[in-house]
Structure 1
């Protein structure tokens, strides 16, 4: 740092008395350690730290990624040697140094590329957008956040004319989903900021992936927006390491907001993981976000139109989508005009829904046009808007600590559980997709009592790196696949040896909405490695089926599983579980289960207190 200060003072002597006077009036060491300079370099808070940016093109000093003073010295030297070129490359640094009185003039006026870009992105408002989680894509299982940049003037009247500022991993085309998850967790991809028209994001999330979007306007003034955009220019083509859990899309956006508001700490609390919905809560808690607007997916809009139809009308809607000849049928014409108009609109939306990933053929385009003409025959109509569900930020936090007490047979036990993230189907459904379970980093330690005190011991009960279940109900219009996969370590606590086995299981099937909940059946396989078994590695067909009822406060699940290990025997289980949400951060859970295993039968009862944080 001392060498850096010497260099800075030498520079200031050579650049004029005004800069020297300004520099003499302040502690340049403190300036290099300021929150604003730290934010501009993407260095974590603290006395010592290495920048999150590992791209040497971003730094002017050889050791600038870890020496703030050296980078400040190199920046000032660059301004002395090539002022306009340096300002055009680093407009946010230039603006900040101007505020400190170290630079003067208007060096950006001749930056043609930058000025053209800023004229094109004349932004008056910034909106934080949260796209709901999407379990069928590894990159979007936890949701995704990005910034919407709303232009000034006449273009401000429609969000479709806005821009999306996005951070994402740079993934090769055709990358396997499992390879993405593996490399994403370990930081195997570079991450980049990019901008694109906002309507492309609407198409990607709302139409193609059928994900709801929540848009939170941010309370940023014109100067803060200007700083954010100037720094965005500095990050063009600059690589970050991308980590799926912590240094991800949401974390990088918080860093950008800290550049605009350097005294605000949004990032330091996200040490282990930065879940998109948790980062949205951090922005809200900081007082930056106002009430969000809800943008429903195209499927939600279609379901709203279908809701009031009887079976015959729903059949007609499918017929209309399949053939425009149905418009002339007696069955269709017997309905009132308003009903015909609504059915035609539902058919149009259904056709767009089923054909949204394909290049539209001339025949499909003709059907779409015929349906739209039928809709317009009866005059303009204001179609109903979907009622917004609970905001995602109102749901429970994504990490858990839980304490359980239970008994199985004559053994009493206690369990301590920690789950890094995210949500299971018995948690309160407020703010989360229905039928979804996504749990990563679940760890259970069990203290078991026995007849002799010497038998009491603490042992690993369970470790699940990943457990996912997606229950998407099917009907005559929608036929999604329901599926599940989980992997990790599990103790067979009712077996004589209480073996700790390694297992991977998964399956796919279907679920339907019945009895006010979801009924599901998921056939699949279970691969298990057990050191205590005659055959260590075993593969068994299995099926999981049951009924799930989810609610804001109460949730229930009746679940059955069956596995056939051949000569090693069959395993059967039945369980009834319930969860009572006391608040967004507290819940009680209870379960009773029966197991019929090759080594015997047992019944267990367990109650737990769960704290979300």
Structure 2
């Protein structure tokens, strides 16, 4: 049995090896001496199995297990021999095939988990779409040697055996100068895995693979790391963060700052930039686009996140051996040009990393441990829980570097008193202050500014799903709330692990159970849907910090509102869409030595909202106004917020003197959350609607929240 290292080293320079030593000839003679007995045993076994039932296929998760015999006889696919002098080579290939097939049958290799994963048979992949089916996700014929390869992993394995046998016995003088299209060159990861399992001496597989050799020499893979770029709300495609693989050569593995010796392996959507955003989002979510594997110099890719998007990055070394790293990269060679459907929530940049690791670590079965929706931060946390992260490195974005300079200058100015506006603007400005974590001159290294890491390591964040149960009082009617949110984070949640002031919620619902069911038609029923949020969030870029961009917010939801147009304000469920834009300010004293912004936040936003519902007057209302508020970080476990909404609503003109066509409806609210631990919290919410036509103006609630 050869080692992984010896095979992979042979792939880098060439597959051609001189096999004319006397020791090699002696081993070959011994093999041929045993082959007649092996063939006889195989024929006898075939006769016995002809009258016995064949066991059903079993997908393996370990090394060996029982599996059906591969009975397909494709020995005729061997190159026909018209010259009598070559007949012995054909015979030797058939003998090799007989021996190898017997080993494949004995060890059930056709149903081995690793083999099926190399072919994209993702048996354990949960999905709402075409995953878990008993066929490969790849429908390109170039990905298979057998015409039945997409549906039959055994047929594909047997076809590879035939190709290896032909390659093994072919004399050197009959080989072309380049075998770039041979099975060994096209599928080096499959070849490596199979030769290891069957104990085939890889040096006997004579093939020259110049393109593969050049590609492997360029990457020179020694180590892999996962790079996490934090959430970026100003680009909807990046709102849920991003992950990619850093491929380190021996030089960059020894010194992680030498990024010009590393490459980035990035899996992303191959979308049409000319498509409208709505079309783009639908196609990216439903598999309407293919994925695209990009391999770029690491400095270029890192600069996009640190400089263009101004997103902090965390890099974690993966605890993989050099042999496992090489096998992953060989598998990427096999798959990098394939058309594979991209699903934004299930098959994305994060899930692909787990799939690659599963190829070399089948026993950990990482991909099956995640739910249908795959979030990059969940992948980082899972790898940490599985002890696959060996090291963590923080790289601050350009805005974080400038913010650290601003913090230092203000602290030196004795309580922020003597720093002039011009001085502050020079530090804050990306145009005037080009300070960056990437060297400005040669862009070959990462600069260590000595900045304390921000509290945004995704490993430290709370679980993204949360369930809540709360008791409250609305007017004179008590109620019980039950709610569920699938992601991600609001401003009262525990802040550790997220970008500062991060606020994005997706797919949340709350059902309310009232104590009494009154006969008044303007009051709610006993059981009501209080809220269903598709998406709601705000992007805060305080104007007095080094953070670039504007402050804005958006929401798409169904929610219950009080209709102030009626003589007795009515409670109705409406569909609501809103947008906000304005200004925010960070206040207080930031953490010393860090690039974090001050911890407190205040904002003033101009807002517009449209609501529609069967129960409200004329079935719709349009609102415009101002939303103002502050978020206060009392300590690591306690946070508070206060907000005042001043919307002015318009329903359309009305001839009824008792019905208002337009009116103010201010709402004031406060919130407070205390974290019991990382997974539990209690929260208080209270609100009051300043509208005389509403009976139940006040609402107060105490709730328990469980993150999971």
* TM-score, normalised via structure 2 length: 0.73
- For 2:373 and 2:252, the matched residues in 1 are separated by 40
- For 1:460 and 1:347, the matched residues in 2 are separated by 46
Deviations 1:409-431 (A, max 9, x none): 12222222222211111111101
Aligned pair partner of 1:426 in 492, 512, 519: 492
Q: Give the structure 2 partner of residue 565 of structure 1.
A: 649
Q: Give the structure 2 partner of residue 72 of structure 1.
A: 157
Check if 1:7 corresponds to 2:85.
no
The 1:411/1:161 distance shift into structure 2, 3 A limit, reads same
- For 2:642 and 2:206, the matched residues in 1 are separated by 66
- For 1:259 and 1:403, the matched residues in 2 are separated by 42
Q: Does the Cα contact within 8 Å between 2:475 and 2:695 map onto a contact in 1?
A: no
- For 1:228 and 1:10, the matched residues in 2 are separated by 31
Matched residue of 2:571: which SS? coil
Q: Does the Cα contact within 8 Å between 1:219 and 1:290 map onto a contact in 2?
A: yes
Deviations 1:48-87 (A, max 9, x none): 5444445454344455444433433444455456785111
Q: Quote the offset at 1:349 in angstroms.
A: 6.7
- For 1:105 and 1:277, the matched residues in 2 are separated by 40
- Once the two structures are overlaid, the 10-residue window that deviates more, 407-416 or 48-57, is 48-57
Q: Does the Cα contact within 8 Å between 1:572 and 1:595 map onto a contact in 2?
A: yes
The 1:39/1:435 distance shift into structure 2, 3 A limit, reads same
- For 2:666 and 2:408, the matched residues in 1 are separated by 42
- For 2:222 and 2:123, the matched residues in 1 are separated by 30
Q: Does the Cα contact within 8 Å between 2:483 and 2:508 map onto a contact in 1?
A: yes
Q: Give the structure 1 partner of residue 577 of structure 2.
A: 504
- For 1:517 and 1:509, the matched residues in 2 are separated by 17
- Once the two structures are overlaid, the 10-residue window that deviates more, 77-86 or 579-588, is 77-86
The 1:536/1:172 distance shift into structure 2, 3 A limit, reads same
Check if 1:436 corresponds to 2:536.
no
1:589-608, aligned counterparts within 5 Å?
589-597=683-691, 598-608=693-703
Q: Quote the offset at 1:496 in angstroms.
A: 6.2
Matched residue of 1:425: which SS? coil
- For 1:58 and 1:80, the matched residues in 2 are separated by 20
Check if 1:95 corresponds to 2:192.
yes
Q: Give the structure 1 partner of residue 345 of structure 2.
A: 245
1:130-209, aligned counterparts within 5 Å?
130-153=228-251, 156-157=254-255, 158-209=258-309
The 1:58/1:468 distance shift into structure 2, 3 A limit, reads farther
- For 2:282 and 2:560, the matched residues in 1 are separated by 25
Matched residue of 1:7: which SS? coil
CA RMSD across the alignment: 3.2
The 1:26/1:154 distance shift into structure 2, 3 A limit, reads closer
Q: Give the structure 2 partner of residue 335 of structure 1.
A: none
- For 1:518 and 1:390, the matched residues in 2 are separated by 17
- For 1:488 and 1:477, the matched residues in 2 are separated by 33
The 1:591/1:226 distance shift into structure 2, 3 A limit, reads same
Q: Give the structure 1 partner of residue 22 of structure 2.
A: none
- For 1:388 and 1:438, the matched residues in 2 are separated by 19
Deviations 1:179-213 (A, max 9, x none): 43333222222112121011012210111111111
Q: Does the Cα contact within 8 Å between 1:138 and 1:177 map onto a contact in 2?
A: no
Q: Give the structure 1 partner of residue 322 of structure 2.
A: 222
Check if 1:391 corresponds to 2:462.
no
- For 1:108 and 1:512, the matched residues in 2 are separated by 67
Q: Give the structure 1 partner of residue 550 of structure 2.
A: 481
Matched residue of 1:239: which SS? coil
Deviations 1:503-561 (A, max 9, x none): 10111111012365111111121111110123113221132210112353111110111
1:160-559, aligned counterparts within 5 Å?
160-309=260-409, 310=413, 313-317=419-423, 351-353=432-434, 384-450=450-516, 457-475=526-544, 480-492=549-561, 498-514=571-587, 517-550=600-633, 552-559=636-643
The 1:315/1:499 distance shift into structure 2, 3 A limit, reads closer
Q: Quote the offset at 1:19 in angstroms.
A: 4.3
Deviations 1:117-146 (A, max 9, x none): 111111211111111111111121111111
Q: Give the structure 2 partner of residue 31 of structure 1.
A: 109
Q: Give the structure 2 partner of residue 330 of structure 1.
A: none
Q: Does the Cα contact within 8 Å between 1:61 and 1:74 map onto a contact in 2?
A: yes
- For 1:26 and 1:82, the matched residues in 2 are separated by 19
- Once the two structures are overlaid, the 10-residue window that deviates more, 426-435 or 16-25, is 16-25
The 1:347/1:500 distance shift into structure 2, 3 A limit, reads closer
Q: Give the structure 2 partner of residue 111 of structure 1.
A: 209
The 1:291/1:436 distance shift into structure 2, 3 A limit, reads same
- For 2:301 and 2:123, the matched residues in 1 are separated by 33
Q: Quote the offset at 1:26 in angstroms.
A: 4.9
- For 1:392 and 1:540, the matched residues in 2 are separated by 37
Q: Give the structure 2 partner of residue 124 of structure 1.
A: 222
Matched residue of 2:468: which SS? strand
The 1:570/1:131 distance shift into structure 2, 3 A limit, reads same
- Once the two structures are overlaid, the 10-residue window that deviates more, 79-88 or 524-533, is 79-88
- For 1:8 and 1:213, the matched residues in 2 are separated by 54
Q: Quote the offset at 1:469 in angstroms.
A: 0.9
The 1:355/1:507 distance shift into structure 2, 3 A limit, reads farther
The 1:458/1:64 distance shift into structure 2, 3 A limit, reads farther
Matched residue of 1:100: which SS? helix
The 1:56/1:596 distance shift into structure 2, 3 A limit, reads farther
Q: Does the Cα contact within 8 Å between 1:473 and 1:513 map onto a contact in 2?
A: yes
Deviations 1:321-344 (A, max 9, x none): 5xxxxxxxxxxxxxxxxxxxxxxx
The 1:481/1:286 distance shift into structure 2, 3 A limit, reads same
Q: Give the structure 2 partner of residue 326 of structure 1.
A: none
Q: Quote the offset at 1:406 in angstroms.
A: 1.6
Equivalenced residue count is 566
The structure having more radius of gyration, on CA atoms, is: 2
Q: Does the Cα contact within 8 Å between 2:690 and 2:697 map onto a contact in 1?
A: yes
Q: Does the Cα contact within 8 Å between 1:160 and 1:198 map onto a contact in 2?
A: yes
- Once the two structures are overlaid, the 10-residue window that deviates more, 545-554 or 81-90, is 81-90
